[in-house]
């Protein structure tokens, strides 16, 4: 069984918190795109393997994003921010449940794994929608890195994630 190191967890939380804040503060483009196309933001934020979106809503959102680099970049920023927030909440839940029974610990680990898998899926889905080669590569690489975690955020390499975030920002014209 993987032991959770609070010191490692806090370092990862701090790094992802900064990543989330950077994503949230890096541009007004995300806000502009969300205001112009609210349905595009709705799918990534609420979809998960356990709560799939209405297929017609998903198709409309995909059509709105398809080939639209600016909208995909805005959606990727929102997904990164949401993942950072979920990560911090999941780490807190894991710490809070550390002294509880096995079922509580498993529930926290399962929630974290779902959130990691949803983020990886969202990145891969956006990569499939873009026609911009550097953006597609950045999203695909970041998705593969997140997928390699296999739900275990304790394996998160913050330096690699930071590098992917920089690559994504560059592909989106923000670096």
Give the per-residue pLDDT at 4. Answer: 43
The tokens for 97 are 């449940």
Give 52: exposed, middle or buried? Use CB within 10 Å, 0-12, 13-18, 19+.
exposed
User: Cβ–Cβ contacts within 10 Å for residue 67, how many?
Assistant: 11
When pLDDT is averaged across residues 88-107 and rounded to a whole number, the result is: 92
User: Could you tell me if residue 153 is inside a domain?
Assistant: yes
User: Could you tell me if residue 34 is inside a domain?
Assistant: yes
User: Could you tell me if residue 1 is inside a domain?
Assistant: no
The tokens for 166 are 């920089």
Residue 27 CB-half CA count within 13 A: 21
User: Could you tell me if residue 37 is inside a domain?
Assistant: yes
Q: Which domain holds residue 165?
A: 6-171
Give the per-residue pLDDT at 53. Answer: 63
Per cent of the chain over pLDDT 70 is 68
Q: 138-161 pLDDT, tens per residue?
A: 999 999 988 888 877 777 778 888
Contact 15, 87 (CB under 8 A): no
User: Could you tell me if residue 58 is inside a domain?
Assistant: yes
| pTM exceeds cut of 0.85 | no
| Number of domains comprising the chain | 1
User: Could you tell me if residue 43 is inside a domain?
Assistant: yes
**Average pLDDT along the chain:** 75
């Amino acid at each position: 069984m993987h032991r959770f190191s609070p010191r490692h967890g806090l370092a990862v939380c701090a790094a992802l918190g900064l990543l989330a804040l950077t994503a949230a503060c890096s541009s007004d483009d995300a806000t502009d795109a969300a205001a112009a196309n609210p349905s595009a933001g709705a799918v990534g934020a609420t979809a998960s393997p356990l709560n799939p979106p209405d297929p017609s809503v998903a198709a409309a959102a995909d059509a709105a994003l398809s080939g639209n680099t600016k909208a995909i970049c805005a959606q990727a920023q929102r997904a990164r921010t949401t993942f950072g927030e979920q990560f911090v909440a999941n780490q807190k839940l894991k710490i809070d449940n550390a002294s509880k029974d096995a079922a509580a610990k498993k529930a926290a680990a399962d929630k974290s794994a779902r959130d990691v898998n949803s983020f990886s899926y969202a990145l891969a889905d956006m990569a499939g929608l873009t026609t911009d080669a550097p953006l597609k590569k950045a999203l695909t690489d970041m998705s593969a890195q997140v997928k390699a975690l296999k739900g275990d955020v304790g394996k998160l390499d913050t330096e690699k994630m930071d590098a992917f975030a920089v690559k994504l920002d560059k592909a989106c014209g923000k670096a």
